[in-house]
Amino acid sequence: MIVFDDVDAWRQHRCDQTRAALTLGFVPTMGALHEGHLSLVRRSRRENDRTLVSIFVNPTQFNDPADLARYPRPLTDDLNLLRAEQVDFVLLPEETRLYTDGYRYRVSELYVSKELEGAKRPGHFDGVLTVVLKLLHIASADRMYLGEKDWQQLTLIRGMATAFFLPTAIVACPTVRASDDLALSSRNVLLDAREREKAPKFYRALTSAPSAEIARQDLRAAGFVVDYVEDRDGRRFGAVCLGRVRLIDNVPLERTE
């Protein structure tokens, strides 16, 4: 496994690979890796000659500085996990190199990005789309692997790829859950034991309530602070806080009873 912290060294390396006609799968992450990330990595390994994983905690997508400061960064563990998965390349870009423009240039979407997560986290999707566009150009991959856990993000990145004629194919991967159905997330490690015990009620409320309104009521009764639960385009989307930890999830509506 080759670890690049120099974007330009990686780009040179990628040029050599393109000349050798090797296909590349790309998995962008913010680290604190878990089985959800690894499912993307495994799919990329199956479908491409080489796999690149990036780890970058992107400051422009955090609207809450405390959330950014708390975000887990277990880099040594992450690299060990990726080595065990036989990942070929890891990119650890520096913030100053990614944002040479000081974030003067950014990608904005005007409608979907203002709803749900975007309504609660102003500017979040500008940060996501901007960093993903940069990373897509740097990676120069054939395919990029994204999780359905972040459905709205997936929708927006797909839309950007179409709008700007980006050559990388976007591959969506199903949400990986713990045995109690809590969606795996890097933030789950921040839950204390009691919060962790309560957390699976989030998925249960999303899937079992007959309406979004009842799901909201059930979650409040169970002690969650509800940011939103809303039904859109055949899916139910939710975001809640348990203590200081914010959880998001989404499920197809046919799974609700």
- The residue count for binding ligand AMP (CB under 6 A) is 17
The vertex-68 CA angle with 64 and 71, nearest 5°, equals 135
* Nearest CB to ligand AMP, comparing residues 173 and 219: 173
Contact region for ligand AMP (CB under 6 A) — 169-177, 203-211, 219-227, 234-242? 169-177
SS3 assignment for 110-129: CCHHHCCHHHHCCCHHHHHH
| Distance in angstroms (rounded) separating the CA atoms of residues 49 and 252 | 33
146 is a site residue for ligand AMP (CB under 6 A): yes
107 is a site residue for ligand AMP (CB under 6 A): no
The catalytic residue among 13, 37, 124, 137 is 37
Residue 37 a catalytic site member: yes
Could you tell me the CA-to-CA distances from 22 to 17, 39, 103, 141 in Å, in that order?
6, 22, 33, 10
* Nearest CB to ligand AMP, comparing residues 59 and 217: 59
Site string for ligand AMP, 10-49 (x = CB under 6 A): -------------------xx-----xx-xx---------
For 59, the 3-state DSSP assignment is helix
Nearest approach, Cβ of residue 16 and ligand AMP (Å): 27
Task: Using alpha carbons, select from 17, 25, 105, 110 the residue that is nearest to residue 60.
Answer: 105
| Distance in angstroms (rounded) separating the CA atoms of residues 242 and 178 | 17
Among 132, 141, 160, 173, binds ligand AMP (CB under 6 A): 173
Contact residues for 63 (Cβ-Cβ < 8 A; gap 6+): 121, 122, 123, 124
124 is a site residue for ligand AMP (CB under 6 A): no
Enzyme catalytic residues: 37
Residues that bind ligand AMP (CB under 6 A): 29-30, 36-37, 39-40, 146-147, 149-150, 173, 175-176, 183-186
